[in-house]
Amino acid sequence: MSLPILDVGPFLRGEPGSLNALAQEMRAACEGVGFYFLVNHGVAQQAIDQTFHEAQRFHALAMDEKRRVLQGDHYVGYVAPSQIRIDVGDGFDNKTNKADVQAAYHVGRDYSPEHPLSKQGVRYYVPQPWPHGIDGFKENISSYFTQMETLGRRLLPVYAAALDAPLDTFDAAFEAPLDYLRLIHYPKVERLSEDQFGLGAHTDAGFLTFLPQTKVPGLEIMMPDGRWIAQPIVPGAYLVNAGQTLKRWSNNRFRSTPHRVISPTGAEDRYSIPFFFNPGYFARIEVISSCVDDQHPPAYPPITYGEHLVEYLANTYRPAPARAEA
């Protein structure tokens, strides 16, 4: 089974019949393999390339500067090497693995201290800790973040239609979203190990993940028959996959497909800039009624996205011996 390619251009242009046509293709992709390529998405390649460049600029900073913006309790900021060993279940037990070989800078929505949820002290609704010494970094990253959030919002009615639900089904859940952009550095390694990855096998926590094409390969996707395949390349496309939240909403109708990253062994390090489009903290994740029938009762109890995210992150960050970044 190959990965489907979905053309979102006609829908974004408002062409008659395009929403239903795209929803049918999206339904087939999400029920089939759980990953698809999105083309004609409207995000300029220049903006994507600039964001890859900003990732390289950040990770080239002195360690003292990166540690000045270390990630705390709110999942924004710098995650130093050896601090991630992802173990989120879904049939995989990574507890005996060594720490994943990566470092990352997590960018949130940069909530103002005056935002009502910030003033209430709700976890994750905090200002973004920005590094010093990189002219234009904040502006470029913020611009790209906004473009990706806009793309995610424009797809919400398509996903609703794909699940035979009212088109505004997901709208309220994304009023104060907990979206994240991760700028990831996977350093090259001399050899691969069976108990260490760039990122271990997992499924994502949220609603959707958008992955632009990377220069250095490494992503592997588990197909429905259990085979791991290397991600194909479709120039200019986003590789999109559903997370655990959409799987719950759809009552397992849409797949949240396992994937992993193999560390690069060639001459270059690997950089990745996934964007995670997620609901707000208090969004109620309850199986959609159109996905329930006599043969398919609700597979999950209701939960808030905040409760789900706390549990997910608790299984991602593990104490590990510090080591120097490559």
Inform me whether the pLDDT recorded for 239 exceeds 60.
Answer: yes
Find out whether 285 and 245 touch, Cβ atoms under 8 Å. Answer: yes
User: What's the rounded mean pLDDT across residues 212-217?
Assistant: 93
- Helices then strands (H, E): number in the chain? 8, 15
Cα 58 versus chain centre, distance: 19
pTM more than 0.85: yes
Inform me whether the pLDDT recorded for 177 exceeds 60.
Answer: yes
Tens digits of residue pLDDT in 40-62: 999 999 999 999 999 999 999 99
User: What's the rounded mean pLDDT across residues 6-16?
Assistant: 98
Q: List Cα–Cα distances, 55 to 7, 18, 75, 235, in angstroms.
A: 28, 35, 17, 20
Find out whether 276 and 174 touch, Cβ atoms under 8 Å. Answer: no
Find out whether 61 and 133 touch, Cβ atoms under 8 Å. Answer: yes
Q: Domains in the chain, start-ordered, CATH in brackets?
A: 5-314 (2.60.120.330)
Closest CA to 71 of 61, 63, 79: 79
Inform me whether the pLDDT recorded for 193 exceeds 90.
Answer: no
Inform me whether the pLDDT recorded for 324 exceeds 60.
Answer: no
User: Poorest-confidence range of 276-285, 288-297, 314-323?
Assistant: 314-323
When pLDDT is cut at 50, 70 and 90, the band that residue 96 belongs to is confident
User: What's the rounded mean pLDDT across residues 200-209?
Assistant: 95
Alpha-carbon Rg for the chain, nearest whole angstrom, is 19
The distance in angstroms from the start CA to the end CA of the chain is 37
Inform me whether the pLDDT recorded for 205 exceeds 60.
Answer: yes
Distance (Å, rounded) from C-alpha 195 to C-alpha 315?
17
Tens digits of residue pLDDT in 108-161: 999 999 999 999 999 999 999 999 989 999 999 999 999 999 999 999 999 999
- Mean pLDDT over the full length of the chain: 93
When pLDDT is cut at 50, 70 and 90, the band that residue 318 belongs to is low
When pLDDT is cut at 50, 70 and 90, the band that residue 290 belongs to is very high
